[in-house]
């Protein structure tokens, strides 16, 4: 008997694009888990994207009713490619209404306390921004909002605790706020406080710590995750006695508890969790992909990247893999390099860790990269990718000598993208003081190899497009506009064509510059001959983007060329 699934995500995407409601319903009845699965690991289109792009309102309605995520975007420009944004920017008003109506229905169904009103939105905005007095003034004016929940299902007390607004939290408690109400995900206000005390690459949030203490004294309920974060060994032991399955890893789902304990540097909690049965590698599958790839090693990587030697040694003694593969996020050894931690590197090497070629390239370990390349010349493309990210011209140069690809080989595109990432200056890096000038140099080195500057990347965009959208990581701008223009100038010097249209946004590079508000880049493109009206669709002209995005300076600039 065949064990193959009756349908694939490709089947669902085809049905969505065709507006075939019978097929959509049949596929989701047999395989409901496909609703938010990506088309492929290198293509994050989901079925809802296909329905929107094909302007199939009833297919959108059916998919939304089945739980489609309209906020999921497509790498590498996720902010511009959610189903809701695509529909809005293309003027698909009927689809926008369907998505908004279903979104509001979900919100209201998620929690009986959800209130959708201008006052409630203003209240939660004030909490988020730390405007305690304004938040209290709104509650004073509308006391029914004291226990109202935001659109996401969290109460005012939960929002205040999660952001460390401990003074506001005290005021809310004195006014009788309900601290037993849980979010739709099952979080209490104490969970919100405890799980936000320590955030990546940031000092402990003292406000969250104080909020956790306030809520503990007030008797607020909390989850095992919060107990782990707070180091409450007795709570965890008691919970494990009643719910032993919570502490048994299953090789499919991410546990996450070890990561919470390590983030809090609770060595004895880590020991207890391992004793209870958790996998030291927290090996799990990524269910958003049909191939369900594995990822493992997060606990050790967290310890290795934060100088938590006791936790790291304990994990290694219990069998954690120092060469684990965290999906698209390195490994424990690379985490130690990110922290420039020689002691941690030594610990990992003693337990079998190795400096792999990718990490050598990313971290500028030129000697190690040279040895790896000498022993295996087939590593040239991998090492060049890594060194382009890591900003090492010497490794780039030695790798370029090994590659005999034609100038039109599409593999060059991915390598040319890497310097644009300014990877060593990104917010995930512990030490970001790096010579940024090497990145344009590397970009020029690859182009001077004779590479075609007009190669197309995924969904038909060119490097001239990409330059308008890149340079922001975790909502932090990491590329200056002067750097953006410098990269673009190098690209144009090597013959980049500005009068081309991508497949997804149906826009020229100038259109992308107008959409993302890159005035200096738009000016350069226009000066270099960019067609001011070129687009694949009427809604995607450069002027249309500038007007939609209220980039009036760019709109005025374009008008001068019409």
HEC string of 281-336 equals: CCCEECCCECCCCEECCHHHHHHHHCCCHHHHHHHHHCCCCCCCCCCCCCCHHHHH
Please check whether residue 149 is in contact with residue 185, taking contact to mean a CB–CB distance below 8 angstroms.
Answer: no
478 falls within a domain: yes
Region 207-214: mean pLDDT is: 96
Q: Are residues 118 and 96 in the same domain?
A: no
pLDDT band of residue 199 (cuts 50, 70, 90) is confident
Q: CB under 8 Å to 235, separation ≥6 — which residues?
A: 224, 227
Q: Are residues 245 and 319 in the same domain?
A: yes
Domain boundary among 307, 325, 343: 325
What pLDDT shows up at residue 44?
A: 94
Q: Are residues 80 and 118 in the same domain?
A: no
399 falls within a domain: no
Identify any residues that bridge with 289 across adjacent strands, giving them in sequence order. 38
Domain boundary among 110, 139, 168: 110
Domain boundary among 58, 93, 110: 110
| Residue 469 in this model has a pLDDT that exceeds 70 | yes
Could you give the CA distance from residue 548 to residue 562 in angstroms, rounded to a whole number? 18
Please check whether residue 95 is in contact with residue 70, taking contact to mean a CB–CB distance below 8 angstroms.
Answer: no
pLDDT band of residue 1 (cuts 50, 70, 90) is very low
Q: Are residues 68 and 153 in the same domain?
A: no
89 falls within a domain: yes
| Residue 112 in this model has a pLDDT that exceeds 90 | no
Could you give the CA distance from residue 222 to residue 180 in angstroms, rounded to a whole number? 9
- List the one residue out of 354, 355, 269, 278 whose CA is nearest residue 319: 278
Q: Which two tokens stand for residue 466?
A: 């990409």
CB atoms within 10 A of CB 265: 16
What pLDDT shows up at residue 153?
A: 80
- Per-residue pLDDT tens over the stretch 262-310: 999 999 999 999 999 999 999 999 999 999 999 999 999 999 999 999 9
Q: CB under 8 Å to 89, separation ≥6 — which residues?
A: 80, 539, 548
Q: Are residues 199 and 257 in the same domain?
A: no
Supply the CATH number for residue 245's domain.
1.25.40
Dmax (CA) of the chain: 73
Supply the CATH number for residue 462's domain.
1.25.40.20
484 sits in which H/E element: helix 481-493
Q: Are residues 105 and 118 in the same domain?
A: no
Q: Are residues 137 and 218 in the same domain?
A: yes
473 sits in which H/E element: strand 472-473
Please check whether residue 384 is in contact with residue 394, taking contact to mean a CB–CB distance below 8 angstroms.
Answer: no
- Per-residue pLDDT tens over the stretch 353-400: 999 999 999 999 999 999 999 999 999 999 999 999 999 999 999 999
- Per-residue pLDDT tens over the stretch 507-553: 999 999 999 999 999 999 999 999 999 999 999 999 999 999 999 99
Residue with tokens 């493309």: 381
Q: Are residues 67 and 118 in the same domain?
A: no
Residue with tokens 């938590």: 308
DSSP-derived letter for residue 432 is -
Identify any residues that bridge with 295 across adjacent strands, giving them in sequence order. 284
Angle, CA 258 vertex, CA 291 and CA 284 arms, to 5°:
10
CB atoms within 10 A of CB 318: 16
Residues in the chain, total:
562
Could you give the CA distance from residue 421 to residue 478 in angstroms, rounded to a whole number? 9
Mean pLDDT, the chain, integer: 95
What pLDDT shows up at residue 89?
A: 97
386 falls within a domain: no
- List the one residue out of 267, 260, 249, 174 whose CA is nearest residue 223: 260
Q: Are residues 52 and 106 in the same domain?
A: yes
446 falls within a domain: no
b/e map 375-393, b = 16+ CB within 10 Å? eeeebbbbbbbbbbbbbbb
What pLDDT shows up at residue 5?
A: 66
Domain carrying residue 59: 9-110
What pLDDT shows up at residue 430?
A: 87
Q: Is the dihedral of CA 536, 470, 417, 294 positive or negative?
A: negative
Q: Give the pairing of strands 284-285 and 472-473.
A: unpaired
Angle, to 10 degrees, between the axis of helix 411-420 and the axis of helix 438-447? 160
Split into its structural domains, the chain has a count of 4
Q: Which two tokens stand for residue 54?
A: 């094909």
Q: Are residues 211 and 122 in the same domain?
A: yes
- List the one residue out of 371, 368, 347, 370 whose CA is nearest residue 359: 368
What pLDDT shows up at residue 202?
A: 76
339 falls within a domain: no
Angle, to 10 degrees, between the axis of helix 132-141 and the axis of helix 118-129? 160
366 falls within a domain: no
What pLDDT shows up at residue 113?
A: 84
Q: Are residues 60 and 73 in the same domain?
A: yes
Could you give the CA distance from residue 325 to residue 296 in angstroms, rounded to a whole number? 6
Could you give the CA distance from residue 504 to residue 500 in angstroms, rounded to a whole number? 13
| Residue 107 in this model has a pLDDT that exceeds 90 | no
DSSP-derived letter for residue 184 is T
Q: Is the dihedral of CA 421, 424, 425, 430 positive or negative?
A: positive
CA distances, 377 to each of 357, 371, 404, 410 (Å)? 12, 10, 12, 20
DSSP-derived letter for residue 80 is G
| Residue 88 in this model has a pLDDT that exceeds 90 | yes
Q: Give the pairing of strands 472-473 and 476-477.
A: antiparallel
Q: Are residues 177 and 124 in the same domain?
A: yes
417 sits in which H/E element: helix 411-420
Could you give the CA distance from residue 332 to residue 259 in angstroms, rounded to a whole number? 13
């Amino acid at each position: 008997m065949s064990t193959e699934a009756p349908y694939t995500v490709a089947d669902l995407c085809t049905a969505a694009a065709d507006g075939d409601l019978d097929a959509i319903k049949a596929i989701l009845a047999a395989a409901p888990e496909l609703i938010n699965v990506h088309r492929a690991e290198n293509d994050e289109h989901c079925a809802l994207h296909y329905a929107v792009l094909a302007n199939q309102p009833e297919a959108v309605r059916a998919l939304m009713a089945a739980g489609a995520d309209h906020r999921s975007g497509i790498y590498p420009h996720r902010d511009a490619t959610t189903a809701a944004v695509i529909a809005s920017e293309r003027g698909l008003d009927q689809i926008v209404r369907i998505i908004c109506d279903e979104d509001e229905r979900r919100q209201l169904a998620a929690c009986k306390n959800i209130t959708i009103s201008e006052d409630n939105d203003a209240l939660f905005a004030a909490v988020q921004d730390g405007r305690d007095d304004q938040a209290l003034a709104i509650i004073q004016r509308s006391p029914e909002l004291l226990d109202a929940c935001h659109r996401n299902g969290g109460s005012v007390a939960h929002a205040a605790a999660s952001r460390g607004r401990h003074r506001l939290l005290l005021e809310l408690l004195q006014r009788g706020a309900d601290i037993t109400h849980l979010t739709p995900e099952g979080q209490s206000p104490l969970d919100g406080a405890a799980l936000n005390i320590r955030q990546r690459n940031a000092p402990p949030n003292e406000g969250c710590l104080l909020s956790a203490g306030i809520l503990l004294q007030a008797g607020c309920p909390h989850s095992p995750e919060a107990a782990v974060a707070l180091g409450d060994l007795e709570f965890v032991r008691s919970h494990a006695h009643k719910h032993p399955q919570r502490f048994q890893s299953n090789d499919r789902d991410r546990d996450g508890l070890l990561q919470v304990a390590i983030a809090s540097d609770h060595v004895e909690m880590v020991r207890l969790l391992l004793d209870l049965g958790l996998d030291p590698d927290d090996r799990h599958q990524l269910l958003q992909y049909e191939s369900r790839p594995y990822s493992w090693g997060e606990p050790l990587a967290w310890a290795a990247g934060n100088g938590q030697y006791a936790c790291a040694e304990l994990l290694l003694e219990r069998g954690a893999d120092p060469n684990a593969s965290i999906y698209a996020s390195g490994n424990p050894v690379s985490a130690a390099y990110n922290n420039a931690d020689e002691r941690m590197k030594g610990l990992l090497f003693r337990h079998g860790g190795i400096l792999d070629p990718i990490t050598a390239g990313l971290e500028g370990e030129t000697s190690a990269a040279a040895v790896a390349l000498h022993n295996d010349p087939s590593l040239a493309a991998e090492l060049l990718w890594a060194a382009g990210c890591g900003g090492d011209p010497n490794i780039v140069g030695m790798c370029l000598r090994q590659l005999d690809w034609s100038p039109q080989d599409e593999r060059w595109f991915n390598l040319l993208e890497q310097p644009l990432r300014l990877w060593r200056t990104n917010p995930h890096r512990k030490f970001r003081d790096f010579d940024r000038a090497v990145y344009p140099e590397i970009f020029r080195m690859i182009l001077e190899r004779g590479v075609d500057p007009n190669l197309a990347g995924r969904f038909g965009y060119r490097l001239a497009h990409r330059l308008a959208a890149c340079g922001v990581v975790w909502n932090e701008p990491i590329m200056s506009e002067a750097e953006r223009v410098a990269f673009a100038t190098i690209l144009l010097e090597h013959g980049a064509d500005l009068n081309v249209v991508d497949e997804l946004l149906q826009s020229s590079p100038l259109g992308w510059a107008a959409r993302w508000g890159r005035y200096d880049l738009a000016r350069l493109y226009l000066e270099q001959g960019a067609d001011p009206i070129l687009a694949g669709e009427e809604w995607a002209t450069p002027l249309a983007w500038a007007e939609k995005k209220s980039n009036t300076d760019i709109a005025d600039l374009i008008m001068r060329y019409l």
